[in-house]
Structure 1
Amino acid sequence: MTADTSIFTFANPTDLILEIPTATQNQADVYSQSFSNPTSGYQGYINELCLSAVLLWLQEDVTPQAKVWPTTTVLSSFWELVNGTAITSEATRFILIPSETIDLSELRVPQEWVDIPSWIGDYYLAVQVEPDEGYVRVWGYCTHVQLKSQGSYDASDRTYALDAADIINDISVLAVARQLCPEESTRSAIEEILPIPQLQAQNLITRLGNPEILIPRLAIPFQLWGGLIEHGGWRKSLYQRRLGLPEQWSVLQWLQGGVDQVAEAVGWGSFDFQLSAVGARGVDQRQPESILSRQLAIAGQIYELLILPQRESDTTVWRFELRNLIVGAAIPGGFKLRLLTEDLQPFANNEDIAITAVELLYVEVALLPGEGIVWEIEPLPDNYDREILRF
């Protein structure tokens, strides 16, 4: 809800003052339990206050399709590590940069939101948060192009700073600009971040998983840091390690003891299934098995990703299936189901492609104990964030 700016004598006429929903204001204690230290917990709290107010305004006044990227259930794994939140609307991405500072002489954006290819935004919103007063103040915005061409990079805290004089202070211009100049170039070309080997990533997670390292983003070179956290599975593993949580994505544990709350939050579930229904070979046809499933929204329809264990002699072959959730409905031509190693490398027969409409796509793989696998689907499912499934 927008507040009456006339009652704020300090505010510029072009400032956007938004009320923070009361329910969000009362969540400080909750956030202190979701992070490894008080500093990260408060960062998460400030970002949540900012998000709750600004997302509602974007949906009501700018673009009804606005939604959190990649999904609300994984925001804590971002806020533990870096300040800022991404909101997407179709192909456009807004980056919210909250701060409690009263010094509005510049906007400082963490390098992650500027130089990690899959994180960069089109528009960066400068947001002053007043938790005690119950409002946020959106005092300007800029584009990625402006940050890269006009901003100054500070290596000491890895931020890009843009002077207030170079920022568009009238936030109402944002909606007008998107309508009148939809083809405006908002993103600059940036350097590729090279992938890092799996063993190195695991060593970094072990090292940076120590919660006594309060600012892990500054503890290693940016190219290594960017390569680590751009991988959604490794980012979540680092977050869980810093909180002292056990392995959260063990398929075997899910099958034996049920899907844990973290996995349930992103849509995973399990059910008993008769193996004979899926054509398992060399198995007692009366033997029931637990099957893992996850519903996915893709291109406006709901699909189901299944993981089915198929026992062959002394080996378990894992079958990944993608089906349309509507019985009898097909998967359109052009869809792809792909499996990759933990460090995103392809392997033999790791992909199934629908040349024309088909009933299902599937890939089968035999894995060593403890081995991780990453699944991908094209077109990309809504709210997709890479995850490492451990077998």
Structure 2
Amino acid sequence: MTTIFTFANPTDLILEIPTATQNQADVYSQSFSNPTSGYQGYINELCLSAILLWLQEDFTPQAKVWPNTNVLSSFWEIVNGTAITLDATRFILIPSETIDLSELRVPQEWVDIPSWVGDYYLAVQVEPDEGYVRVWGYCTHTQLKSQGSYDPGDRTYSLDAADIINDISVLAVARQLCLEESTRSAIEEILPIPQPQAQNLITRLGNPEILTPRLAIPFQLWGGLIAHGGWRKSLYQRRLGLPEQWSVLQWLQSGVSQVAEAAGWGSFDLQLSAAGARSVDQRQPESILSRELAIPAVGYAYAGQIYELLITPQGEPDATVWRFELRNRTVGAAIPGGFKLRLLTEDLQPFPNNEDIAISAVEQLYVEVALLPGEGIVWEIEPLPENYDREILRF
């Protein structure tokens, strides 16, 4: 159970940091491009481990990290903060070691990137040596945008302690009323950036000597780059000096990369041969790439079942045609009507015949696409799979 300490301020929430997390500082120094980002990751992990447990125990066991725990380092390398979702509500945790609790400072990314925006922003003081975190207040996105001050120097929104809600016990009630009163303000759309420009930015900002890449280019460009999960991960891997982790051809030749395995990708061999054929010309086993997907699909038939996305080369071994196929993992079970499988270019543009839609229950959905060497593809599924974060598969 979460241990809660008693402090002078009765409205503060004091949570113990799990011992196992406190001992992970050395691990975090190896997962980032520089000591500053490494320590930022460590402080965020301490904050997350204590608060996620509290939310799961006091609010709902379904509280979970957004988009998923495997990609947190790609956020913490470049920005402070962590998102947790509770059903349709999103909490943004903003940890700090400062003893100055006069204001809450939130990086612009969590306020002005539409896909990152939260409902509630929690001000968290982290005490690594003492082994606890103090949640000393919270505010809504609407408060940050309407009452907060924007600092263009470090691209943060700040809200005075007097303007945030200090009594954390009010949060549970506020969340119940969330459906009736808006917690989020309308914000400007961030326009997508072209693929060549994104690659140039990743090359430039991938230099680990640039300690604060978030401040190195205009925010609209920066937001357009990192809002794309595939580009954000590419930037992170470039800053760590890692080789390409999402090459489908490399996966087929030498096995799925560790990064892709952590995301759920694997491969298996399928013996392809003509029925009854026993000649020496019988084809060798062909590798198929697969990824299991949990799709909540509330309101659909087969809600909450496990599905599988398959990628198979078509025709000759050097063919450039690839088949993406979605199936129900349960033998004999169907894909419900309303599901969609969609492919997009690396910069999220549609192309002819890029999606398959289940008008009614079907055995599978599939899209076949011809790709040039080095070309990237992004897959999407509706309804959204759990833990989904955009990937650029390189062919």
**Same fold, judged at TM 0.5 (above):** yes
Question: What's the CA shift for 1:18?
Answer: 0.1
Point out the more displaced range, 229-238 or 59-68: 59-68
Aligned equivalents of 1:165, 1:389: Cα separation in 2: 48
Aligned equivalents of 1:236, 1:15: Cα separation in 2: 36
Percent identity among equivalent residues?
Answer: 91
Aligned equivalents of 1:319, 1:280: Cα separation in 2: 25
SS of residue paired to 1:161: strand
Question: What's the CA shift for 1:276?
Answer: 5.0
Aligned equivalents of 2:276, 2:200: Cα separation in 1: 41
Contact 2:313/2:319, CA 8 A, preserved across alignment: no
Contact 1:283/1:311, CA 8 A, preserved across alignment: no
Deviations 1:24-49 (A, max 9, x none): 00000000000000000000000000
Deviations 1:89-119 (A, max 9, x none): 1111000000000000000000000000000
SS of residue paired to 2:281: coil
Given the superposition, is the C-alpha separation of residues 186 and 280 from structure 1 closer, same or farther in structure 2, using an over 3 Å criterion?
farther
Given the superposition, is the C-alpha separation of residues 18 and 339 from structure 1 closer, same or farther in structure 2, using an over 3 Å criterion?
same
Aligned to 1:182: 179
Contact 1:44/1:76, CA 8 A, preserved across alignment: yes
SS of residue paired to 2:292: strand
Contact 1:282/1:313, CA 8 A, preserved across alignment: no
Aligned to 1:286: 283
Question: What's the CA shift for 1:182?
Answer: 3.3
Contact 2:38/2:77, CA 8 A, preserved across alignment: yes
- Unaligned residue ranges in structure 1 (runs of 5+): none
- Unaligned residue ranges in structure 2 (runs of 5+): 296-302
Deviations 1:284-329 (A, max 9, x none): 7633111100000005110000001112596331000000000010
Aligned equivalents of 1:122, 1:376: Cα separation in 2: 25
| Aligned residue runs from structure 1 range 1-391, under 5 A | 11-275=8-272, 286-298=283-295, 299-312=303-316, 315-391=319-395
Point out the more displaced range, 285-294 or 264-273: 285-294
Question: What's the CA shift for 1:147?
Answer: 0.3
Given the superposition, is the C-alpha separation of residues 117 and 341 from structure 1 closer, same or farther in structure 2, using an over 3 Å criterion?
same
Contact 1:283/1:312, CA 8 A, preserved across alignment: no
Contact 1:68/1:87, CA 8 A, preserved across alignment: yes
Question: What's the CA shift for 1:179?
Answer: 2.4
Given the superposition, is the C-alpha separation of residues 29 and 331 from structure 1 closer, same or farther in structure 2, using an over 3 Å criterion?
same
Deviations 1:251-306 (A, max 9, x none): 00100001111111010000101345999999976331111000000051100000
Q: What RMSD, in angstroms, separates the aligned Cα atoms of the two structures? A: 2.5
Aligned equivalents of 2:357, 2:30: Cα separation in 1: 43
Aligned equivalents of 1:191, 1:282: Cα separation in 2: 64
SS of residue paired to 1:278: coil
Contact 2:78/2:214, CA 8 A, preserved across alignment: yes
SS of residue paired to 2:320: strand
TM-score scaled by length of structure 1? 0.95
Aligned equivalents of 2:193, 2:51: Cα separation in 1: 35
Given the superposition, is the C-alpha separation of residues 231 and 46 from structure 1 closer, same or farther in structure 2, using an over 3 Å criterion?
same
Deviations 1:136-180 (A, max 9, x none): 000000000000000000000000000000100000100112224
Aligned equivalents of 2:349, 2:277: Cα separation in 1: 28
Contact 1:317/1:364, CA 8 A, preserved across alignment: yes
Aligned equivalents of 1:338, 1:313: Cα separation in 2: 24
SS of residue paired to 1:276: coil
TM-score scaled by length of structure 2? 0.94
Question: What's the CA shift for 1:62?
Answer: 1.8
SS of residue paired to 1:357: coil
Aligned equivalents of 2:59, 2:279: Cα separation in 1: 58
Given the superposition, is the C-alpha separation of residues 152 and 288 from structure 1 closer, same or farther in structure 2, using an over 3 Å criterion?
same
Given the superposition, is the C-alpha separation of residues 189 and 278 from structure 1 closer, same or farther in structure 2, using an over 3 Å criterion?
farther
Given the superposition, is the C-alpha separation of residues 70 and 285 from structure 1 closer, same or farther in structure 2, using an over 3 Å criterion?
farther
Question: What's the CA shift for 1:234?
Answer: 0.2
SS of residue paired to 2:176: helix
Question: What's the CA shift for 1:131?
Answer: 0.2
Instruction: Give the count of matched residue pairs.
Output: 387
Aligned equivalents of 2:354, 2:31: Cα separation in 1: 36
Point out the more displaced range, 267-276 or 122-131: 267-276
Contact 1:105/1:164, CA 8 A, preserved across alignment: yes
SS of residue paired to 1:326: coil
